[in-house]
Amino acid sequence: MHQGNVLLLLHAHLPFVRHPEHEEFLEEDWLYEAITETYLPILEMAEDLEREQVPARFSIALSPPLCEMLADPLLQSRYLRRLDRLLDLAAREVRRTERDPAVNGSARMYLESFRRARATFEDEYGRNILRGFRRLQDAGRLQVLTCGATHGFFPLIGRVEGVRAQVRVAARNYERHFGRRPDGIWLPECGYRPGQEAILAEEGITHFFVETHGLAYGAPRPRCTVYAPVRTASGVFAFGRDIESGRQVWSASEGYPGDACYREFYRDLGYDGEYAWVKPYLHADGQRRHLGIKYHRITGKVDLHMKAPYEPERAAGRAREHAGNFLFNRQQQLRHLRGVLGRAPTVLSPYDAELFGHWWFEGPQFLLALLRQSAAQDEVRFTTPREILAQGGPVQRSTPAFSTWGNKGYAEVWLNPSNDWIYRHQHAVEDRMVALAAAHPDAQGPVRRALNQCAREVLLAQSSDWAFIMNAGTAVPYAHKRFKTHVEAFLRLESRLREGRVEEDYLSGLESRHNCFAEIDYRDFAPGSSR
C-alpha cells in the first residue's frame, strides 16, 4: 500500500571558473573532476533506470554557472585533454600493478571508468552533457530545476532588483539550454527571505525549497510541518527539507559515506606515487595534487598511511546494502507519518550532487541501487516536485520563515568576520547598476554591450561561492581575487559609460573571459522593471 512520497533532489553547482588567458588553471579542475566523478555517473545512472523502465524519478538542479561551463567549447576541449591524460595514466597503472593484486583491480576499474566517460562525453553527447539531461527531462525520466544566475545569496543581496536579475537571467539561461521555462528553482544555499517568492512568481516559477526550520516556523505554522508543500501568498509552493533522511547521508558520524569499505578520498596517486611517475600528469608548476586515482579505503579511524587497499566489489555490495537500509527507513518513516497526519506525506531529501561520486565515490551506485530496489515495493514512491504539485489536493497557506541551510541555519556561513567586508562593495555596485539601467532604457551598439557586461560583472560578484570559500578557508586568495576582479571591472566600465565612451578593447577582453549568459539583458536591473 502506498504510504507516501520521497523527493530525491540533487543540487549541482560550481562557481563560474574559466580562464582562457592560462593554458592550465587549478580551479578549473573543480569542473573536470565533477564531470568525471559526479555528473557523468549520475547521467549514466538515469539512463540505466530508463532502459530498465524503473518507475522511480528524481530531480536535479543544474545551476546556470554550471550549465554555462558544461556548454563552453573551451572548457569542453580542456576537459577532454585532461581525460585523455588520465586514460594514459590509468593504462600505465594497470601495467605497473600487474603483480600487485591488492590494487590492480582498482587500477582496471579506473581505466574502464575513464574509457566509458570519454565515450559518453564525446561520442554520445558531442561534449555537451546537458543534452543528456535535457533528453531525459523531455522523456519524463527526471526533473531539471534552475538556481540563481550566479548562485547569489538572495537574503544578502541589497536590492530587490538584484534578486530579480538573478532569477530572470537564470530563467532565460535555463530556457536556452533546456528548451522550456523552469518551473522549479533551488534557492542558492536554501537562502530565503519572506517576500522574495513574489519575484519567482513573476517568472512563472511554481516551487522552491527551504531548510527544515524555514517551513516549521512558517506563519501560520503548517500542520504537516515539512511533510507537505505549502502555498505562499504569491501562489508559489515551498517544500521543506527532511532532517532524518538527510542525516543518513550527510552526517560524518552517522552517514553511509563514512563506512570503512568505501573509498578514501584523501589518499590519491597524485601524492602517493613516485614523483617522476606522476609528474607528467600534474600541472606545469609540478605541484602534487589529486589526480582521481585512489587505491585505499576509509578503513577506520587510522592515520592515512595505515589505510587498507580499496576493494571495489566489496564497496559496491555495501552501497547496495545501504540503499536497502535507506529504503527500509523511509518505509518506516512514511508509515508513521501517514498515521500521524492522516494523509500520504512527502519527504524532501536534498543533497549536493557533488557528494555523490566526488566525495562519496560509491554514491551513484547507492542511488542506482536505491531506485532499482524501490521498484520492488509499493509503499514509497520516488517522484518529483512537479508531479506532486500536479496531483492537486488541499494545500495549507503559509509564509516560510527566514532561513538557510549550512551551519546554524541563519546565514552565518555567508556573513561573518571572514567575509563580511564584501557586502558594502557588492551593495554599492548593485546600486550603481540599477542607476545605469534606469539611465539607459534602450541602449544600442557598444553602449548596450558595455551595459550587458556591467550586468555580468555584478552578477558574478554576487556569487555566494566567494563568501563560502572565505568562510571555509580554502582557496581564499582566489575568492578574494575573483570578487575584486568583478567589482573593479564593473567600476571601470561604469566610469567610461558616464564619460560617454566605451573602451572597446577592454570590453572585448572582458566579454571573452567572463562570457557567461549570452542572452543577458542589462534592463533586468531596471527599477520597477516588469519585462
How many degrees, rounded to 5, is the angle at CA 500 between CA 496 and CA 505?
Answer: 50
Q: Say how many CA atoms lie within 13 Å of 425 toward its Cβ.
A: 21
Query: Are 171 and 524 in contact, with CB atoms under 8 Å apart?
Result: no
527 closest CA partner among 428, 425, 441: 441
**Nine-digit cell string for 305:** 598511511
Q: Residue 271 and residue 267: Cα distance in Å, rounded? A: 7
CB atoms within 10 A of CB 359: 14
CB 200 within 8 A of CB 208: yes
Q: Are the CB atoms for 404 and 189 separated by under 8 Å?
A: yes
Are 447 and 502 spatial neighbours (Cβ–Cβ below 8 Å)?
yes
3-class state of residue 80 by DSSP: helix
The amino acid sitting at 305 is H
How many CB atoms neighbour CB 39 within 10 A?
Answer: 29
Residue 48 among the catalytic residues: no
The answer to whether 15 and 330 are in contact (CB under 8 A) is no
Q: Can you tell me the distance from the alpha carbon of 216 to that of 218, in angstroms, rounded to the nearest whole number?
A: 6
User: 3-state DSSP: the chain helix, strand, coil percent, rounded to 5?
Assistant: 55, 10, 35
Catalytic residue among 189, 264, 268, 457: 189
What are the start-end ranges of the H helices in 212-362? 212-216, 243-250, 269-272, 275-278, 312-341
| Residue recorded with cell 586514460 | 87
Residues forming a β-bridge with 237: 207, 231
125 three-state secondary structure: coil
Contacts (Cβ under 8 Å, ≥6 apart) of 189: 151, 153, 404, 405, 406, 413, 414, 464, 468
Q: What does the alpha-carbon distance between residue 483 and residue 480 come to, in Å, rounded to a whole number?
A: 5
Point out the catalytic residue in the list 202, 352, 431, 511: 352
CA 160, 162, 167: angle at the middle one, nearest 5?
Answer: 95
Strands 396-397 and 230-231: parallel
Alpha carbons 251 and 522: distance in angstroms, whole number: 42
Strand, coil or helix: what is 198?
helix
**For the chain, how big is the Rg over CA atoms in Å?**
24
Residue 103 in grid coordinates: 590494487
CA distance 200 to 265: 38
Catalytic site includes residue 503: no
Q: Residue 390 class from Cβ within 10 Å (0-12 exposed, 13-18 middle, 19+ buried)? A: exposed
Catalytic residues: 189, 352
